[in-house]
Amino acid sequence: MKPIEIKENIYWVGGIDWDLRNFHGYLTHRGSTYNAYLIVDEKITLIDTVKHYHFDEMMERIAAVINPGKIDYIVSNHVEMDHSGGLPALMEKIGSRATIFTSPNGEKGLLAHYRRKWNFKVVQSGDILSLGKRSLHFVLTPMVHWPDNMVTYLPEDRILFSNDAFGQHLASSERFDDEYPFSIILEEATKYYANIVLPYSKQVNKTLEAVSAFALDVIAPSHGIVWRSSVKQILAQYQKWAKNETEPKALIIYDSMWGSTEKIAYAIAKGFENKGIKVSLVNLQFNHISDIMTMVLTTKYICVGSPTLNNNMLPTVAAFLIYLKGLAPINRVGIAFGSYGWGGQSIGLIEDILKSCNWQVWEQIKNQYLPTDDFLKTTTEKIERLLTN
């Protein structure tokens, strides 16, 4: 387990989680990494740690550079246990002399997690810590994506240690954006934003503004690949995502019992197609909500369909809608649709949730029992008409 030099005397010393496939309900098809960084200067500094079960791996990488007992400073940019989980074992191993620099909420959070009174030094935005030849500048970034989050900038090497911002769940031996297929990195960065960062887009704008003052050669996030050749590109992507900018595409997300809601889904798709709008049909039986969110991030038209079961919508659709609502995308157009036998409550319930997202919601499409060819034709024409107006 070797360290990887990011810049002279600055090393990636993280852990690679090749087996991770589910990160609190977010499917991580390509695993992940927990990135810790070691800065060797007059004061030896470690930025963040790793998930607890990667502790030995991190220590092996650190030990290949220096004796870990020589670590003077630890910067904890984020309390969440995939980044702080290595702290208890680290503090035990190196003794309590190291100082932990963290935000006010970071100190509270670390105390609440580990119940140990380590040598904390609380920092505020604008505080500067000298390491010798280098310095660290702290910027608090509350709610990107927890109250305690902060980022750390190293001006002498023009590196931003951005923690979860700009991260991707992607396990690889390659450490840099120019060593790995860019489309995959971008796909994973998109999924990460959609599933983790999206609700805090307002705060992301502030972070981007604060970061724009920094000259950047490298963005070193706490998950996945390090950005050095595509720094401008990922910043531009974040600008776009934080503004909830979408493309004129349509997603038709549904589940079906006897195929009727599915028929309506395809009739809706035809309407979009006829108007030259690209459509994806997303059956909730075969697609995971975290993958669907990746698509939602850049899509303007979101149609959600469910038949009525027990006076309600299908549980798959309910799960998706609860997840969607929490992630709070805005500036979308929504349509609720579905087939039913009696009652037919599902369509109205879906519509209520779409409205509660503050979207523009178009008239619902609802059919009792099996849709006739005429109904399907009318549905297609209705979509065409709505798109024309």
Partner 1 sequence: MQKYVCTACGYVYDPAVGDPDSGIAPGTPFSDLPDDWVCPVCGVGKEDFEVQK
As annotated, the active-site residues are 24, 78, 80, 82, 145, 164, 192, 223
Residue 143 beta carbon to partner 1: minimum distance, rounded to whole angstroms: 4
**Cβ closest to partner 1, residue 108 vs residue 275:** 108
**Cβ closest to partner 1, residue 166 vs residue 200:** 200
Find the distance separating the first CA and the last CA of the chain, reported in whole Å: 60
Please give the structure tokens belonging to residue 305.
Answer: 């369909």
Residue in 179, 154, 155, 177 with CA at minimum distance from that of residue 166:
177
Cis bond before residue 145 (omega within 30° of 0): yes
Q: At what angle do helices 182-192 and 289-296 cross, to 10 degrees?
A: 100
**Cβ closest to partner 1, residue 203 vs residue 298:** 203
Contact 106, 78 (CB under 8 A): yes
- 282: exposed, middle or buried (C-beta count within 10 Å: 0-12, 13-18, 19+)? buried
Q: In a 3-state reduction of DSSP, which class is residue 53? A: helix
- Exactly one of 138, 200, 238, 362 binds partner 1 (CB under 8 A); that residue is 200
**Cβ closest to partner 1, residue 205 vs residue 364:** 205
Look at the block and give the residue holding tokens 């100190």.
107
Contact 299, 270 (CB under 8 A): no
Q: Does 202 engage in binding with partner 1 (CB under 8 A)?
A: yes
- Exactly one of 9, 99, 105, 364 binds partner 1 (CB under 8 A); that residue is 105
Look at the block and give the residue holding tokens 């502030």.
206
Q: Which residues, including other chains, have CB under 8 Å from residue 352's CB and lie 6 or more apart?
A: none
Stretch that binds partner 1, among 50-58, 195-203, 333-341, 379-387 (CB under 8 A): 195-203
**Residue 10-49 contact track with partner 1, rule CB under 8 A, x = bound:** ----------------------------------------
Distance CA 69, CA 300 (A): 53
Distance CA 10, CA 136 (A): 13
Which positions from 134 through 153 interact with partner 1, judged by CB under 8 A?
140, 142-143, 147
* Number of continuous H segments (helices) and E segments (strands) in the chain: 12, 21
The total number of residues written for the chain in this structure:
389
Please give the structure tokens belonging to residue 20.
Answer: 């991770």
**Cβ closest to partner 1, residue 105 vs residue 368:** 105
Residue 117 beta carbon to partner 1: minimum distance, rounded to whole angstroms: 21
Residue 139 beta carbon to partner 1: minimum distance, rounded to whole angstroms: 12
Residue 77 beta carbon to partner 1: minimum distance, rounded to whole angstroms: 14
Distance CA 203, CA 142 (A): 7
**Cβ closest to partner 1, residue 207 vs residue 256:** 207
State which H helix or E strand residue 262 sits in: helix 260-274
User: What is the Cα Rg of the chain in Å?
Assistant: 24
Which positions from 309 through 368 interact with partner 1, judged by CB under 8 A?
none
Distance CA 379, CA 270 (A): 9
Residue 72 beta carbon to partner 1: minimum distance, rounded to whole angstroms: 27
**Cβ closest to partner 1, residue 209 vs residue 247:** 209
Distance CA 128, CA 124 (A): 9
Q: Which residues, including other chains, have CB under 8 Å from residue 112's CB and lie 6 or more apart?
A: none
Residue 135 beta carbon to partner 1: minimum distance, rounded to whole angstroms: 24
Size of the site for partner 1 (CB under 8 A): 10
Stretch that binds partner 1, among 99-107, 189-197, 213-221, 302-310 (CB under 8 A): 99-107
Residue 320 beta carbon to partner 1: minimum distance, rounded to whole angstroms: 22
Stretch that binds partner 1, among 97-105, 252-260, 268-276, 308-316 (CB under 8 A): 97-105
Residue 289 beta carbon to partner 1: minimum distance, rounded to whole angstroms: 22
**Cβ closest to partner 1, residue 141 vs residue 306:** 141
Binding residues for partner 1, rule: CB under 8 A, are 103-105, 140, 142-143, 147, 200, 202-203
